Amino acid sequence: MMELVFALAVGILTASGVWLLLRPRTFQVIIGLSLLSYAVNLFIFGMGRLRIGAPPVLENTEAVDPALYTDPLPQALVLTAIVISFAMTALFLVVLLASRGLTGTDHVDGREDGQ
Amino acid sequence: MSSGMPLLAIVALPFIGSLVAIFLRQNARNGAAFLAGTIAFCCMVLTGFQYRAVGRGGVLRLSVEWLPTLGLDFTLRMDGFTWLFAMLVTGIGLLVVLYARYYMSPADPVPRFFAFLLAFMGAMLGIVLSGNLIQLVFFWELTSLFSFLLIGYWHHNASARDGARMALTVTATGGLCLLVGVLLIGHIVGSYDLDDVLASGNRVRSSSLYLPALILVLLGALTKSAQFPFHFWLPHAMAAPTPVSAYLHSATMVKAGVFLLILLWPVLSGTEAWFYIVVSAGLCTLLLGAYAAIFQQDLKGLLAYSTISHLGLITLLLGLSSPLAAVAAIFHTINHATFKASLFMAAGIIDHESGTRDIRRLSGLFRFMPITATLAMVAAAAMAGVPLLNGFLSKEMFFAEAAAFHIDSLLDHSLPYFAMLASAFSVAYSLRFIHGVFFGPPATDLPRTPHEPPHWMRFPIEFLVLACLLVGILPAMTIKPFLSTAVRAVLGPDTPYYSLAIWHGFNEPLLMSVIALIGGIALYWALQRHLKKGIDGPPLVRHLKGQRIFERVLVTLSWKWARSLERLFGTQRLQPQLRLLVAFAVLAPLWPLYRQGLEAGSRPGTAFDPAFLLLWIVGSLCAIGAAYQAKYHRLAAMVLMGGAGLVTCITFVWFSAPDLAITQLLVEIVTTVLILLGLRWLPKRIETAGEGLTMGVRARVRRVRDLMLAVASGAGMTLVVYAMLMRPLPDTISRYFIENAYSEGGGRNVVNVLLVDFRGFDTFGEIVVLAVVAITVFSLLRRFRPAPESVAAPEQQQVQDAHDRASLDRAVGDTLADYLTIPAVIMQWLFPVIITVAIYLFLRGHDLPGGGFAAGVTMSIALVLQYMAGGTRWIEARLRIRPILWMGLGLLCAASTGMGAWLFRHPFLTSYFQYLDVPAIGKVPAATALLFDLGVFAVVVGATVLILIALAHQSIRNPRPARRAYTPTMQAVAKENA
């Protein structure tokens, strides 16, 4: 059941993100991208399946039993993705501010529809 | 098989010469001509020497491995047939160079001309000597390219530019088809090597891919050899200087198509498809070309159509699939090259010396240039197929083959009649060329008074005409050995008996020849009245202009369709683009789903916890709320987004990912600060009352469509994620990482070991990206022009200042300064605490959750908090923060740690660790990975702080507003609300 909740969560985050991605205002797109990156991060993280109480921090160092730990690989991927998505948000935000200043509009195309 | 080094020299020399010629001075006419002549001569002599090897049926080969795994080698190959062609290319090349030396005006950039000509010669030799099909196509396209450059040599001339473009478009498109065809052949045979392909004729012909391969190869060959319906480019190519027309567009390049057909004749010919396609294309071209040639008013136009017609004849012969016809085709290829090149050169001389090529204006030139006239007459007679000349011999063979029986069909039965008709046409246009130009009353209104050209300009014609005569009179003593070598190389054991004699007795071909000759003379006489009228172009088909159709197709393709496509998929507007992408991403998975269905996974689910459900109800509400509020209530949207982020963070904790949770939490904090800083410069968007009522129908449709897309993609993701989560985890490389994290990487936190050790190279890439982004943000903000609306102080600040001004005991700015006094003190006290936490996170990272990323973000939070507490000016007066230096040192640290491994002869980023005994603490692990992590830490601190500070600095920079780009009108506002 936890899996279903997790899947629905990813779905709702995706849907909200996609909806915002298709909106005409730059700020909406930035929020949308952030929501979408939550969804994608969770998705990649889920690749290691959901395990409770099995963090990939080794307890005894002699004979390691991989079955005791959750998959560390998706976690490593997501960890860098979190930092990069911050960088991406920052870049887009600055581009959005500059574009708002230069074009006088916050439409994603730099001009209002029909102009 | 013997050494093929000379082959390499033959192909490479012209290219080298071309490179040298480019660097000659603009006016180095003699130098360039001498260079080109020498190279052509050397190539010819080198080729000539190879006859010893190929004359006895040998094959010369030179193979250099290039991409052996793909079956691509650089292979040069020469047999008897390609030897003959190489001799033709180099020999006529030499004569053309000599001719061009006198033809080209000193005012033209002659070295460029010779550079192109030499490069073309190299490319042509490349085609001829290629031993690999793909390599052949490469050189094939090169010839198209140099033909384009040569046709457009006088690029100030519009017709030259148009002709060049048309020739390139047609021949290069054909070349593209040829490439695909060759790939298909290579796929069937399993090799692109020409010898392998030639040995697998049966396999190719019986393959199911034979027909597509044949059609594609034929498209390449027929476009190159200007066959119907692609013939129209050749007459327009006549805008080129005449040496180019003589060389490329009659003797060599247009023969490349025919060459390819002969080369692949053993592989592709002999089927019905081959017969019908090749014979009908050849026959149409033969008749149409000859017919159109009669009515041309331009000398070169007449020759161009005649070339088309003769190429059609050769194609027709090849289509017949009989060995004797192939012999005739090879023979006629050589003969045509000799007489047509000399005729072109003669036309060039006439043009050069009299100033015009218009047959209507030319007349009676015989008395001005008797020698040239005589030479041209002999060559034209060869073209018409008059006995005792080489053209007669191959035409006889053609007639014999046309009369022979091949495939029982109407096409085959009618061939002899069409052959005679075309031959009569050729007699007529040859007569026209001679009679119209050299005889009749002397022309009076010529731009120049014609006279004989310099002797060396005429020499190439003399030489070629002599060849026509010698071959025509003494075939057995001149051409026979070479021809038989060539024929044997192509036909192998199928080589038929044929005799090259002038007199075969009274037989069918001779009768046909006589009829054609008499018919041609009669036709010319009958057409006198029509020709006198001086109408350009042939009657009946004058309006069927290939050029016009071509232009229209081109306009449709490259303008109308391109415009429609651009409208549909263009990048001008973001939303349709994204909509397409999302729609595709939603629809694409349906295909595998439809093919394979979806079955439930077998993995037992994790025990349900209502708290988790509750958590995500909150999280989902946050996400949906953020989506709902992002347009008008940005702050609310940001807070809600943060809520969703926190829920994500808790999810990470829940499912055993402490590292992710820490990082997510910290990044959430900096993201919030970042967006808050940004919001200051984003003018408010005011929601107007009753907006929903003014929304247009289109906007409603758009919203519904987007909502459907969003819901569909969300549902799709849910399905995919659920299906994935319910499947057992396959055995992946993760097992290796867990088992070896401690023994190899010296750390117990596997995620961190992965980041800084096993996958250190990826992490290195990540921090470089981070640094690049930070510097980009920084430089974007250096000349930041905010929107005019947000230049003034924010509303809240204005209220505060007004309050300060109203109160007697306050100075302006006091409220602002006192605003956060208590929190500011706490924040300042927290500074060392947070730094300690950062160091702690960093140091424990290798064994417990933490690490460079988390520590770096923590450290930057410590710094940013100080900015918030004290204000930018206050903090910068006390603490010099140099984020770029941080980033630089961090990158340097990470990179040099990685490179340190080189000192010990290990690959980049190999880590090393051991345990150190530190007094009072005990055994501590010390890994080089820690140094690398330090680099990561520094880069993350630097990048995050640089981004945030650059944005924060805008408040004290007093930036200039941007000029208003546009003023919203009432109409725009209404639309904007939609």
| Number of domain units in chain B | 2
ipTM of the complex: 0.95
- pLDDT at residue B56, rounded to an integer: 82
DSSP B247: I
- pLDDT at residue A28, rounded to an integer: 92
Q: Which residue has the higher pLDDT, B914 or B646?
A: B646
Domain final residue pick, B485, B512, B527: B527
- Decide if A106 contacts A28 (C-beta within 8 A): no
What is the percent of chain B where pLDDT is above 70? Answer: 94
* Average pLDDT over every residue of B311-340: 91
- pLDDT at residue B304, rounded to an integer: 93
The answer as to whether B662 is a domain residue is no
Distance to chain B for A80, nearest Cα, Å = 7
Q: Is the pLDDT of residue B1 over 80?
A: no
Q: Report the amino acid identity of residue B178.
A: L
Question: Mutate which of B738, B764, B944, B970 to test chain A, going by most A C-beta atoms within 10 A?
Answer: B738
Q: Is the pLDDT of residue B594 over 60?
A: yes
Question: Mutate which of B621, B698, B725, B757 to test chain A, going by most A C-beta atoms within 10 A?
Answer: B725
> Can you read off the two tokens belonging to residue A19?
């909806």
The answer as to whether B957 is a domain residue is yes
| DSSP H helices in B846-914 | 852-870, 872-878, 883-903
Residue of B nearest to A49 (CA): B725
Q: Cα torsion at A45, A46, A51, A57 (round to 10°)?
A: -20
Cβ of A10: how many Cβ atoms within 10 Å?
28
Helix (H) or strand (E) holding B482: helix B480-491
The answer as to whether B234 is a domain residue is no
- pLDDT at residue B978, rounded to an integer: 46
- pLDDT at residue A19, rounded to an integer: 95
- pLDDT at residue B666, rounded to an integer: 94
Res. B582 pLDDT band, cuts 50 70 90: very high
DSSP-derived secondary structure for B902-922: HHTT--TT---EEEEEETTTE
Q: Is the pLDDT of residue A99 over 60?
A: yes
Rounded Cα distance, A85 and A78, in Å: 10
- pLDDT at residue B475, rounded to an integer: 87
CA proximity to B224, closest of B265, B281, B273: B281
Of the listed ranges B62-76, B246-260, B773-787, the least confidently predicted one is B62-76
B224-263 per-position pLDDT tens digit: 999 988 888 998 888 899 999 999 888 889 999 999 999 9
* Average pLDDT over every residue of B877-887: 88
Q: From residue B240, give the alpha-carbon distance in Å to each of B92, B162, B348, B507.
A: 17, 11, 11, 43
DSSP-derived secondary structure for B304-371: HHHHHHHHHHHHHHHHT--HHHHHHHHHHHHHHHHHHHHHHHHHHHHHHHHS--BTTT---GGGT-HH
The answer as to whether B664 is a domain residue is no
Tell me which residue in A28, A85, A103 faces B630 most closely, judged by beta carbons. A28
Rounded Cα distance, B412 and B392, in Å: 23
The answer as to whether B317 is a domain residue is yes
CA proximity to A16, closest of A47, A39, A43: A39
Domain final residue pick, B463, B494, B527: B527
B744-771 per-position pLDDT tens digit: 777 888 888 888 888 888 899 999 999 9
The answer as to whether B547 is a domain residue is no
3-state SS class at A25: strand
Q: Is the pLDDT of residue B55 over 50?
A: yes
Give contacts of A 61-100 with B, CB under 8 A: 61, 64, 66, 69-73, 75-76, 78-80, 82-91, 93-98, 100
* Average pLDDT over every residue of B38-52: 93
The answer as to whether B43 is a domain residue is no
B387-412 per-position pLDDT tens digit: 888 889 888 889 888 888 777 788 88
Domain final residue pick, B468, B497, B527: B527
Q: Which residue has the higher pLDDT, B676 or B955?
A: B676
CA proximity to B225, closest of B278, B295, B165, B302: B278
| Residue B180 CB partners (closer than 8 Å, separation 6+) | B216
Give contacts of A 14-33 with B, CB under 8 A: 14-25, 27-28, 30-32
Of the listed ranges B305-309, B397-401, B663-667, B922-926, the least confidently predicted one is B922-926
CA proximity to B678, closest of A12, A69, A95: A95
3-state SS class at B846: coil
- pLDDT at residue B973, rounded to an integer: 47
Which residue do the tokens 């005990």 mark?
B922
Q: Is the pLDDT of residue A114 over 70?
A: no
Residue B671: its chain A contacts at CB < 8 A? 34, 86, 89
Q: Is the pLDDT of residue B94 over 90?
A: yes
Rounded Cα distance, B251 and B340, in Å: 7
Tell me which residue in B575, B707, B787 faces A101 most closely, judged by beta carbons. B787
Q: What share of chain B is helix, strand, coil (3-state, %, to 5)?
A: 75, 5, 25
Res. B976 pLDDT band, cuts 50 70 90: very low
Domain that holds residue B436: 269-527
- Decide if B200 contacts B262 (C-beta within 8 A): no
The answer as to whether B646 is a domain residue is no
- pLDDT at residue B889, rounded to an integer: 94
Rounded Cα distance, B488 and B481, in Å: 11
- pLDDT at residue B965, rounded to an integer: 47
B423-456 per-position pLDDT tens digit: 999 999 999 999 988 988 888 778 888 888 888 9
B527-562 per-position pLDDT tens digit: 888 887 777 777 766 666 667 778 888 888 888 888
CA B368 to chain centroid, in Å, comes to 52
Of the listed ranges B570-579, B625-634, B747-756, the least confidently predicted one is B570-579
Res. B648 pLDDT band, cuts 50 70 90: very high
Cβ within 8 Å, pair B582-A22: yes
- Decide if A66 contacts B740 (C-beta within 8 A): no
| Residue B174 CB partners (closer than 8 Å, separation 6+) | B219, B220, B221, B222, B223, B224, B230
* Average pLDDT over every residue of B694-710: 86
Cβ within 8 Å, pair B748-A58: yes
Rounded Cα distance, B518 and B427, in Å: 9
B891-910 per-position pLDDT tens digit: 999 998 888 888 877 777 77
* Average pLDDT over every residue of B514-525: 91
- Decide if B135 contacts B53 (C-beta within 8 A): no
* Average pLDDT over every residue of B328-349: 92
What is the percent of chain B where pLDDT is above 90? Answer: 45
- Decide if A75 contacts B659 (C-beta within 8 A): yes
Res. B492 pLDDT band, cuts 50 70 90: confident
Q: Is the pLDDT of residue A59 over 90?
A: no
| DSSP H helices in B133-271 | 133-151, 158-189, 194-199, 201-206, 210-224, 233-236, 242-246, 253-263, 265-268
Residue of A nearest to B949 (CA): A90
- pLDDT at residue B915, rounded to an integer: 66
- Decide if B118 contacts B32 (C-beta within 8 A): no
Tell me which residue in B674, B748, B781 faces A61 most closely, judged by beta carbons. B748
Across chain B, what does the average pLDDT equal? 87
B31-42 per-position pLDDT tens digit: 899 999 999 999
pTM for the structure as a whole: 0.64
Q: Is the pLDDT of residue B970 over 70?
A: no
B976 in contact with A, Cβ within 8 Å? yes
